Amino acid sequence: MDKKVKPRLARGLQDILPAQMLARQRMIDVIRSVYERYGFVPLDTPAIEFLDVLSGTGGEEAQASIFQVANPDNQEVPLGLRFDLTVPLARVIAQYADLPRPFRRYQVAPVWRADKPGPGRFRQFTQFDLDSVGVKSEVADTEIIAAACDTLEALDVGGFRVRVSSRKVLNLLMPFADIPTEAAADVFRVLDKLDKLGLDKVKLELTTGYKDKSGDTIRGLGLSSAQVQKIEQFLDIKADKREDVLVQIKEAFAGLDDADSAIGELEKISKHLAALGYDDDRVALDLSIARGLAYYTGPVFEAVLLDAPEYGSVFGGGRYDNLVMRFLGEAAPATGASIGVDRLLAALVHLKRIKLVNSTAQVLITRFDNDLIDDYLAMAFELRRAGVRTEMYVGTAKRVGKQLKYADQTDIPIAIMMGSDEKEKGTITIKDLAQGREMSKDMSGHEQWKTERPGQFEAPRSELVQTIKNLLTQIEG
């Protein structure tokens, strides 16, 4: 016999077991329904792209995190796993000239980043994107922000806030703080870590650098204390109302080239959002939002859960008008956002906003008597054809008690039992397992439970479907 292979996962990867998978599918269905309400259409692209398609698009960190893949056709032309869904979209826009403009698409798929794994941070994770390509107007950005709000509302996440900034406004920080333009991408990359690291470590990374908890050296950018002071002054621009933030920005950047245009774009977005009813408690202007990827060119935004801020941004994006230029040689205006499916699901489970269940079935048909197999199959198929998700027990447990335990373990709320006596009488026994568990808490012992059989009742076999549907309506509310 060959030596057994030890079952194991590579570092930074995870298996997604049924309870998590079912919860994520429900979440994805809700998100998809919101995106389609806005008229976005689905797209899928390969996990593997040519390395030169992926390279040079997401900045230094994204470039370093690309998983390279051997090319079976030509080793000299390397391939890579996509690190996001936006770069493949840009390639699609350039490759298919007959796509309608604007092209408004959504896509849900895994992406891969070969960066340092940590708690809740994996090298393969799922993103759910929506993007609008071919629209210069800030109305497109407004719609993406509104869709983010509507999605989080539909998912019943509780309190959340979408924070909006602008790369154009952030670019004004360079002349304001007397920082060379070519250092902008590195400065923004560090500022994007503000929520995660805090101001003190961000200041160290902007200047001298430091060693992190693992002992790794984080190189500093070498900025002067005067430059960092100006950055702090910029980051201190805050207010509860968007219009007050806009006033402070205008005062800070008065006289700088391009200030009126950059600030005016944010002003229009804020006005549109107010007209749609997305007030300051839902969407705030926050200039500390930089977004990590280097391809953003205009408004940038991200959403945080107010009851679980430790999970960071669960929804983020921005405008990236120059990304398609790498393929077409000309700009194509585009804006979009992405949900981190794994991170948002983890936060919703933590907040008890989503329930993990281990089965798709609503009903379990138990096998009380092997001579009645055809009757059990008939009941199962009668319920399935009526739209009730039904499982017939096919395991090895012969005792009904063990079969009911299986239903409990897999979170199936209803069990049906029928033996020869019930068949003769034309009845079935139905057990509401959730109600039975609740009622049994107040019982004195097993004898009382055997006598009263909480949550259990008989019904005519001929009324199977209607009885189960009525019970499900009560259970699922």
Over residues 315-365, the pLDDT tens digits come to 999 999 988 888 888 889 999 999 999 999 999 999 999 889 999 999 999
Q: Does 403 lie in the same domain as 294?
A: no
Q: What is the CATH number of the domain that holds 458?
A: 3.40.50.800
> Residue 115 above 90 pLDDT?
no
Q: Write down which residue in 288, 316, 350 finishes a domain.
A: 350
Residue 356 lies in a domain: no
Domain of 294 in residue numbering reads as 18-350
pTM comes to 0.86
Q: Residues 219-257, buried b or exposed e (16+ Cβ, 10 A)? A: eebebeeebbebbeebbebeeeebeebbebbeebbeebe
Between the alpha carbon of residue 468 and those of residues 362, 386, 460, the distances in Å are 9, 10, 11
Same domain, residue pair 208 and 281: yes
Tens of pLDDT along 236-277? 999 999 999 999 999 999 988 889 999 999 999 999 999 999
Specify whether 154 is located in the same domain as 247: yes
Kindly state whether residue 378 falls inside one of the protein's structural domains: yes
397 and 282 in a common domain:
no
Residue 456 domain-assigned?
yes
Burial of 327 (0-12, 13-18, 19+ CB in 10 A): middle
Q: How many domains does the chain have?
A: 2
Same structural domain, 239 and 331:
yes
Same domain, 463 and 344: no
Could you tell me what percent of the chain has a pLDDT over 70? Answer: 94
Q: Are residues 341 and 401 in the same domain?
A: no
**Is there a single domain that holds both residue 337 and residue 421?**
no
Residue at token pair 């698409």: 105
Tell me: do 228 and 295 sit in the same domain: yes
Tell me how far apart the alpha carbons of residues 188 and 172 are, in angstroms, rounded to a whole number. 12
Residue 357 lies in a domain: no
pLDDT digits (tens, 9 = 90+) for 4-45: 999 999 999 999 999 999 999 999 999 999 999 999 999 999
**Shared domain check, 146 and 257:** yes
Nearest to 410 by CA among 353, 363, 349: 363
Banded model confidence at residue 453, pLDDT cuts 50, 70, 90: low
Q: Is residue 358, in this structure, part of any structural domain at all? A: no
390 shares a domain with 264: no
Give the end of a domain, one of 299, 327, 350: 350
Domain assignment of residue 2, yes or no: no
Note whether 237 and 104 are same-domain residues.
yes
Instruction: Judge whether 4 lies within some domain.
Output: no
Q: What CATH code is carried by the domain that includes residue 148?
A: 3.30.930.10
Contact 21, 341 (CB under 8 A): no
What is the per-residue DSSP string for 320-356?
A: -TTTTHHHHSS---EEEEEEEHHHHHHHHHHTT-S--
452 located within any domain: yes
Show which of 350, 382, 416 is a domain's final residue.
350
